[in-house]
Amino acid sequence: MKDKNKESGSSGMFNLNSKFWKTFLTIVAVILIFAGPTYVTYALNALNIGYLASVLVGVALFAVGLVLLFYLIRKKVIV
């Protein structure tokens, strides 16, 4: 079963050959990179959560987005 997943390019439940998953994961990465540090930080500030906590959450979302983007580039989903 693992050999079949390696040959088809799928990873667990994500079939990276599917147009849906390629598009969905790319959009998620872009939203995390751009909206994470801006809109999420603003929303958390509006909810009176501490400034430092909101900035840390924004930076964490940015990092997760970059990791996902690099993963997609390494798997040649984004060329």
What are residue 15's DSSP bridge partners?
Answer: 10
Q: What is the mean pLDDT of the chain?
A: 84
Is residue 62 helix, strand or coil? Answer: helix
Rounded to two decimals, the pTM is 0.76
Extended strands (E) in the chain: 10-11, 14-15
How far apart CA 35 and CA 65 sit, in angstroms, is 10
4 has pLDDT over 60: no
Q: Up-side HSE of residue 60: CA atoms within 13 Å toward CB? A: 8
Q: Which pLDDT tens digit goes with each residue over 28-62?
A: 999 999 988 899 889 988 999 899 999 999 999 99
pLDDT of residue 9: 54
Q: Which pLDDT tens digit goes with each residue over 60-79?
A: 999 999 999 999 999 888 88
